[in-house]
Amino acid sequence: MVEFTDISKEIIKELEETLVKISDAEVEQLFEQIQKADKVFFVGVGRVLLSLEAVAKRLAHLGINSVVVGQITEPAITEKGLLIVGSGSGETAFPLAIARKAKQHNATVIHIGANPNSSMKEFADYFVRIPVSTKLNLPNEVPSIQPMTSLFEQSLLLLGDTIALMMIKEKNIDMPSLWQYHANLE
Give the Cβ contact number of residue 134 at 10 Å: 17
Q: Tell me whether residue 91 is one of the annotated catalytic residues.
A: no
Cα(120)–Cα(48) distance, rounded to whole angstroms? 16
From the candidates 16, 26, 122, 153, which is the catalytic residue? 153
Three-class DSSP category at 69? coil
Instruction: Indicate the length of the chain as a whole number.
Output: 186
Q: Is 183 helix (H, G, I), strand (E, B) or coil?
A: coil
Q: Cα dist. 66→49, 104, 129, 133, 168 in Å?
A: 14, 20, 22, 29, 16
SS3 of residue 78 by DSSP: coil
| Residues with active-site annotation | 153
